Structure 1
Amino acid sequence: MDTNFLMHTRLFRGIREQEAAHLIECLGGQEQSFEKGEVIFHAGSPITRIGLVLSGSVNMVVPLYWGASRIFGHMAAGEIFGENYAAVPGKELVGDIVAAQSSRILFLDLRKVYTVCSHGCPFHHRLIENLLQISAQKNLQLAERMLHTSSRTIRDRVLSYLSAQSREHGLAHFTIPFDRQQLADYLGVERSALSAELGKMKKEGLISFRKNEFRLMQQPDDAV
């Protein structure tokens, strides 16, 4: 276990390396590897553990009745998933948690996170504070995604998302965490329609891109 890596994650912020090793043991920490496309947690099942992505990344994929699916969330290395469902006993996942690439996951028993140990360790309290902050941040990200997908046209959805990515990176040139299909799922549009719109925007000189690397070239007149 690379405890030095943990020190740079939001979940273990403010916790020393020696304390982190103790916490992992206290919380029944288990490390497991997954191949790209492998399901980590299945939709419809209740969970009691949260996952911390040590390497790779994972998506929450919500299946639709007709066989299609939508990406509801993306968690990169250093981020956690499953905390909201694990916090509600018996609550079933609405989507699959799937490895977006080869990934290593550290699982922690959330029931033990919320049960403060008899010693009242200050770093245990700090972990709970970090968990609450992460949950609040995710709520803000969910609200941002709703903003991106509220627009009626594909172009407006793309503009909204790329503008937000540019602000987050502080640059007009950046890399997004999705491939083309994943971006289409995230924005709630068809991949072919998305590719066509991106091609038009590139031809018009609004953007340039190569795979998941984008550059914003100019400000559109009707930018969101």
Structure 2
Amino acid sequence: MMIDLSRDINLLTKFSIFSKFPLDHLEHLLNCCGAYYKSYEKNEIIYFQGDDINFLCIIISGSISIEKIDIFGNNTYMLDFYSGNFFGEQMILDTPSISPYTYKCSTKCKILCLPFHKKYSTNNCKNTCDCRLLFRENLLNQIAENNLLFINKLEVLSKKNIREKIMTFLINESEKCNSNKVQIPFSKSKFADYLGVNRSALMRVLSNMKNDGLIELNNKTFTILK
């Protein structure tokens, strides 16, 4: 699906990966790298773990579930990416262009695909042009933010019991939004998968935490009380 720059350019500049881009630079970058849209249905796979990566994916709408299969064949849910997030950066950096995870659509998704022909180089544009240098700087900043999401997940999983896992997750989220009110972006079942626990056990612990005056809970909104 072709990009209508006159319609979409203002939307794209709201994404962190395109922040500080003059409109003419962004238009040049998208045209040069051969950008296009792809639409996916819920549960459709964009990349399987181990697939060759042939385009950088920027999520325009919808959400992407990231999963990892271990050496024993167990499929583990890692986290979700949402509008403005990206994946597939291995094809641009100096690393093997192999997908480390399976990326599956949690909902219907619209993806901006940036193929960057010939490994971040095309015949139309040199690697040293201003738009590419700015994009690479933004990309590295966003990779650091993506890595923080995985670090937070590891911190949660390192806790000894479900209550500690929940509180660690909620505190991390509250620090991001600078509020004691936290809205989780997924269902209770997916929250249980994120924590690596059984859903019924999660609901039991949440009820106990509410009774103990640690949290208030209204659907997907948590309020940390202590």
Q: How would you bin the TM-score normalised by the shorter chain?
A: 0.7 to 0.9
Gap regions ≥5 residues in structure 2: none
Gap regions ≥5 residues in structure 1: 220-224
Number of residue equivalences: 218
Aligned equivalent of 1:160, options 161, 168, 171: 168
Matched with 1:222 is none
Counterparts of 2:26 and 2:210, CA distance in 1: 47
Counterparts of 2:189 and 2:111, CA distance in 1: 24
Q: Cα offset for 1:67?
A: 6.9
Letter in 1 for 2:81: M
Matched with 1:127 is 135
Aligned equivalent of 2:154, options 140, 146, 155: 146
Letter in 2 for 1:161: F
TM-score, with structure 2 as normaliser: 0.86
Counterparts of 1:212 and 1:112, CA distance in 2: 44
Residue 200, structure 1, aligned to residue 190, structure 2: no
Q: Cα offset for 1:163?
A: 0.8
Counterparts of 1:85 and 1:196, CA distance in 2: 44
Moved over 4 A (4+): 64-68, 88-91, 110-113
Whether the 8 Å contact between 2:57 and 2:113 is mirrored in structure 1 is yes
Structure 1 pair 189–85 and aligned structure 2 pair: CA distance change class (3 A) = farther
**Structural RMSD (CA):** 2.3
Whether the 8 Å contact between 2:92 and 2:119 is mirrored in structure 1 is no
Whether the 8 Å contact between 2:90 and 2:98 is mirrored in structure 1 is no
Counterparts of 2:19 and 2:121, CA distance in 1: 19
Residue 22, structure 1, aligned to residue 28, structure 2: yes
Q: Deviations over 1:122-157 (max 9, x none)?
A: 122100111111112222332222111111101100
TM-score, with structure 1 as normaliser: 0.86
Aligned equivalent of 2:223, options 209, 215, 218: 215
Q: Deviations over 1:166-194 (max 9, x none)?
A: 11111112312221122222222222221
